[in-house]
């Protein structure tokens, strides 16, 4: 449902959020290893989240990425999906038809609309702080 970049970004954000609970900065290699993603691809994802002020970064030997506490509590999966995949996953036709609408529905329009709407609600429900706490407490995993 999400692009590979979006999936990696969500997992990377959860990992960074978990480490941020302990005020720990993480480098690109650590994030890439934790989410089983290529290092160069992970670097681009983290840089994009930094440019969009989702993550903070610092350079140097002791540098890395971290969530600001306020951002960690206010940023949701929805924000990452919009950044990497755009709003189409929540609005477009399940069969990819351009003219699909309530007036001109595709064969799966009504059922897919329910799925899209539930997906949007779910992605807006949890902050990265919530997701970090779940993984920290062993209630969820990234691998």
Domain-embedded: residue 143 = no
Tens-digit pLDDT profile for residues 2-18: 999 999 999 999 999 99
Helix H or strand E segment including 51: helix 39-51
- Read off the tokens for 130: 């919530």
Contacts of 22 (CB under 8 A, 6+ apart): none
Q: Please state the domain count of the chain.
A: 1
To the question of pTM greater than 0.85 for the whole model, the response is yes
> Three-state DSSP class for 122?
helix
Judge whether 54 and 75 are in contact, CB under 8 Å. yes
Eight-class DSSP state of 117 = H
CATH number, domain containing residue 21: 1.10.10.10
Taking phi over 0 as left and psi of -120 to 50 as alpha, with beta for the rest, 3 belongs to beta
Residue 141's pLDDT is what? 76
Q: What is d(CA 49, CA 71) in angstroms, rounded to the nearest whole number? A: 11
Q: What is d(CA 13, CA 115) in angstroms, rounded to the nearest whole number? A: 24
Domain-embedded: residue 141 = no
Interval 23-45 mean pLDDT:
96
Domain-embedded: residue 111 = yes
Q: What is d(CA 67, CA 120) in angstroms, rounded to the nearest whole number? A: 23
Q: How confident is the prediction for the chain on average, in pLDDT?
A: 94
**pLDDT over 80 at 46, yes or no:** yes
Domain-embedded: residue 101 = yes
């Amino acid at each position: 449902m999400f692009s590979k970049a979006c999936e990696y970004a969500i997992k990377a954000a959860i990992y960074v959020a978990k480490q941020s609970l302990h005020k720990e900065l993480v480098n690109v290699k650590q994030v890439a290893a934790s989410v089983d993603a290529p290092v160069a691809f992970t670097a681009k994802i983290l840089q994009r989240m930094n440019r969009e002020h989702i993550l903070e970064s610092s350079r140097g030997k002791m540098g890395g990425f971290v969530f600001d506490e306020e951002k960690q509590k206010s940023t949701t999966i929805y924000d990452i999906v919009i950044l990497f995949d755009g709003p189409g996953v929540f609005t477009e036709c399940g069969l990819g038809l351009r003219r699909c609408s309530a007036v001109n529905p595709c064969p799966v329009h009504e059922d897919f609309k329910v799925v899209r709407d539930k997906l949007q609600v779910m992605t807006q429900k949890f902050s990265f702080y919530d997701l970090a706490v779940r993984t920290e407490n062993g209630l969820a995993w990234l691998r």
